[in-house]
Structure 1
Amino acid sequence: MKFDSIKYFFNDALKSIKRNKTLSIASVATVAATLFILGVITLTMVNVNKAVEQLGSKVEMKVFFKDEITEKQKTSLKKTLDEIEGVKEVNIETKEQALEKVKEQLNDNAGVLTAGLETKNPFPGSYTVKVNKPEVIDVIVAAVKDAEGVESIADARDIIEKVSALTNSVKVVGAVSFVVFIIVSLFLIGNTIKITVYSRKREIGIMKYVGATDWFIRWPFIIEGVMLGIIGGIISTIILSIVYNLLVSKLPSQALMGFSLIGVSYVWKVVIWEFILAGTFIGTVGSIISMRKFLKV
């Protein structure tokens, strides 16, 4: 393809965008809205996945002892726990330590509320087990639930299940919203190209008459669609980065519950390229679909 032809295609596409300003602006706005939703979904999923990883690295579970457990049974239980792949650390907490921890949590009320508990301590001893990933919890439960000296097991599976359910909900809602906006974007870009084709029907006929090939006629319209898609992608990146930066800077640390969010630089390093590719795809497909249906060349 010659340079003069490429230059002609781009100039023709720019002229067409200027001629149909209203529809072009509507197309860009719809693409930007679509990709903004995609960006929100992407950032939400990345942060949720990061939170799950952080939760997994902090997950602890308690294996409580029966009062009559022997030292031999404790040793055997610890050995079983240590041998499970994914277990980071196993620490013992005696009945006395458990009582002291409760006193610390009660602060000034400890004396009144724990009076007499030293002689009849109701708190069981336990092993605190730290794991690398939440999936290990099921393995641990299966391995020690029926072990001698084990009273009960407390774990954080309910929290993990809720986070997983939230992740799945975000995926479903996001996917449906994204598909709807993709269809609307394709429709608007297709209409923009269709109107351009109709307004230039006579010119296209003359071009064919003098020997212009089908693709020579098609390329300006494809480039026009791609331009609209890319402009929408860039605009959505700018808006997303501003909104996300405000969210990260204004969100109270208490609301994050100890979790950290990814930095706004992620938008410019990763999301922008997703947007440019998606915008190019939307523009190209919208143009091609429109021409196949309405441009008889």
Structure 2
Amino acid sequence: MKISTIKYFIVDALKSLKRNRTVSLASVATVAATLFILGVFLLIVFNVNAGVQKVGAKLEVKIYLKDNVTIAERSALERAINNVQGITKVDFQDKKDALNQVKQQFGPDDKSLVQGFDKQNPFPTAYIVKVDKPEIISKVVKAATGLKGVDKVNDVRDVVDKIIKITNTFKVVGIVLFAILIGVSLFLIGNTIKLTLYSRKKEIGIMKFVGATDWFIRWPFIIEGMILGVAGAVISTGVLYYAYKLVVEKYSNAVLGITFLNPQIILSTTLWQFMLGGLVIGAIGSVISIRKFLIV
């Protein structure tokens, strides 16, 4: 394709946008609003997912040992634990450490509650296993359960299952919402292109009769749709960035226990994804809209 031809397509697309600027602006605004809503939901999903993973990483498995556990049984348990991929740390807690932990939890005011435990310590020795992802909990429980010398394994798989279920639910809802909003965007850009096509129907017919190919006619409209998509993407990303940055600055310290993702993620990741999405949506919407107009 010659440079002069490409230039013609771009100029023709810009002229069309200028002629229909009111409709084009409305289309850009609507696409921007659609992508903004999608961006808001994606940020919620990303933050929730990060929070869930953070909570999941803090989950631990406590493997309680029998009082008569042997060195060989402890070694077998350690080997079984170390064979599980995804473990970040394994701590051994003897009976004295367990008692001191309970004393710290009760504090000096409730010292009488643990009085006498120094002489006859009822707390078992245990291995405390920390993992990098919630899914690893089940593997640790499975590896330790049934081994000789193991008295009990605290099973927190119910909590893990709930965490995983929350994450998966957000992912499914995100995919469904994404599909719906993509459909809305295609519809909006397609309608904008159709308005242009109706005003140039006779011109397209003349071009067909004088031998212009379908793609020669298509390209200005495809470029027009791509411009609309990219413009909507840039506007939505800008608004999303400053709105999210404001929320982070206002609530990051006010809401205890919640860590927000850095707003820079919008400029480093979301911007180019939205722009690419805008290009694709604009192009597809234009191609779909112009098909019947090429049948003369």
TM range (shorter): 0.7 to 0.9
**Cα deviation 1:143-185 (Å, max 9, x = unaligned):** 3222233221125433332222122111222222222222222
**Cα deviation 1:95-125 (Å, max 9, x = unaligned):** 2221211221222423133233334444322
Alignment of 1:243-254 (within 5 A): 243-252=243-252
Indicate conservation of the 8 Å contact 1:37/1:178, yes or no.
no
**Cα deviation 1:64-95 (Å, max 9, x = unaligned):** 12344455544443344345444444322122
Indicate conservation of the 8 Å contact 1:62/1:128, yes or no.
yes
Q: Structure 1 90/198 Cα, relative in aligned 2: closer, same or farther at 3 Å?
A: closer
Indicate conservation of the 8 Å contact 1:90/1:128, yes or no.
yes
Provide the alpha-carbon RMSD of the alignment. Answer: 2.9
Q: Structure 1 64/105 Cα, relative in aligned 2: closer, same or farther at 3 Å?
A: same
Please tell me the residue identity of whatever aligns with 2:252. P
Alignment of 1:123-202 (within 5 A): 123-202=123-202
Please give the secondary structure, in 2, of the residue aligned with 1:152.
Answer: strand
Per the normalisation by structure 2, the TM-score is 0.85
Determine the C-alpha separation between the residues in 2 that align with 1:84 and 1:202. Answer: 71
Indicate conservation of the 8 Å contact 2:92/2:128, yes or no.
yes
1:116 aligns to what? Answer: 116
Please give the secondary structure, in 2, of the residue aligned with 1:171.
Answer: helix
Q: Higher mean Cα deviation, 53-62 or 278-287?
A: 53-62
Determine the C-alpha separation between the residues in 2 that align with 1:85 and 1:225. Answer: 49
Determine the C-alpha separation between the residues in 1 that align with 2:136 and 2:227. Answer: 50
Q: Does 1:25 align with 2:25?
A: yes
**Cα deviation 1:6-45 (Å, max 9, x = unaligned):** 3332222222223323432232123223323443454445
1:282 aligns to what? Answer: 281
Aligned length: 296
Determine the C-alpha separation between the residues in 2 that align with 1:255 and 1:151. Answer: 40
Indicate conservation of the 8 Å contact 1:60/1:130, yes or no.
yes
Q: Does 1:36 align with 2:33?
A: no
Please give the secondary structure, in 2, of the residue aligned with 1:90.
Answer: strand
Q: Higher mean Cα deviation, 192-201 or 139-148?
A: 139-148
1:267 aligns to what? Answer: 266
Q: Structure 1 160/143 Cα, relative in aligned 2: closer, same or farther at 3 Å?
A: closer
**1:204 deviation in Å?**
2.7
Alignment of 1:38-77 (within 5 A): 38-51=38-51, 54=54, 57-70=57-70, 73-77=73-77
**1:290 deviation in Å?**
0.7
Q: Higher mean Cα deviation, 223-232 or 136-145?
A: 136-145
Q: Structure 1 28/180 Cα, relative in aligned 2: closer, same or farther at 3 Å?
A: same
Indicate conservation of the 8 Å contact 2:241/2:263, yes or no.
yes
Structure 1: tracts of 5 or more residues without a match: none
Indicate conservation of the 8 Å contact 1:225/1:287, yes or no.
yes
Determine the C-alpha separation between the residues in 2 that align with 1:54 and 1:42. Answer: 18
Please give the secondary structure, in 1, of the residue aligned with 2:64.
Answer: strand
Indicate conservation of the 8 Å contact 1:32/1:233, yes or no.
yes
Determine the C-alpha separation between the residues in 2 that align with 1:159 and 1:79. Answer: 26
**1:136 deviation in Å?**
3.7
Please give the secondary structure, in 2, of the residue aligned with 1:118.
Answer: coil
Determine the C-alpha separation between the residues in 1 that align with 2:70 and 2:217. Answer: 87
Per the normalisation by structure 1, the TM-score is 0.85
**1:233 deviation in Å?**
0.8
Please give the secondary structure, in 2, of the residue aligned with 1:148.
Answer: coil
Calculate percent identity across the aligned residue pairs. 50
**1:278 deviation in Å?**
0.6
